[in-house]
Amino acid sequence: MENKIICVPGQRLCRIDPTYAMGQGTYKRQDYIYSSLAGIVNINKKNETSVIEVISKDRTVVPAPGDIVTAMVTTLNQDMCKCLITSVNGHELNETYRGSLRKQDVRTKEIDKIEMLQCFRPGDIILAKVLPMTEAHTFKLTTAENELGVVIACSESGHPMTPISWTEMKCTVTNSVECRKVAKIVQDDKDK
Are 88 and 149 in a shared domain?
yes
Distance CA 119, CA 36 (A): 31
As a whole number, the mean pLDDT across the chain is: 86
Same domain, residue pair 144 and 77: yes
Can you give the residue range of the structural domain that contains 112?
68-179
**Pair (42, 105) in one structural domain:** no
| Judgement on whether residues 83 and 50 belong to the same structural domain of the protein | no
Q: What is the mean pLDDT of residues 59-86?
A: 89
Residue 185 domain-assigned (yes or no):
no
Could you tell me the CATH number of the domain that includes residue 73?
Answer: 2.40.50.140
Co-location of 80 and 166 in the same domain: yes
Is pLDDT above 60 for 192?
no
Same domain, yes or no: 83 and 146: yes
Yes or no: say if 41 and 71 are a contact pair by the CB < 8 Å rule: no
Is residue 152 domain-resident?
yes
Tell whether 171 is covered by a domain.
Answer: yes
Answer yes or no: do 73 and 117 share one domain: yes
Instruction: Give the per-residue pLDDT at 60.
Output: 65
Q: Which residues contact 17 (CB under 8 A, 6 or more apart)?
A: none
Residue 174 DSSP class: T
CA distance 67 to 70: 10
14, 95, 28, 33: which is closest to 61 by C-alpha?
A: 95
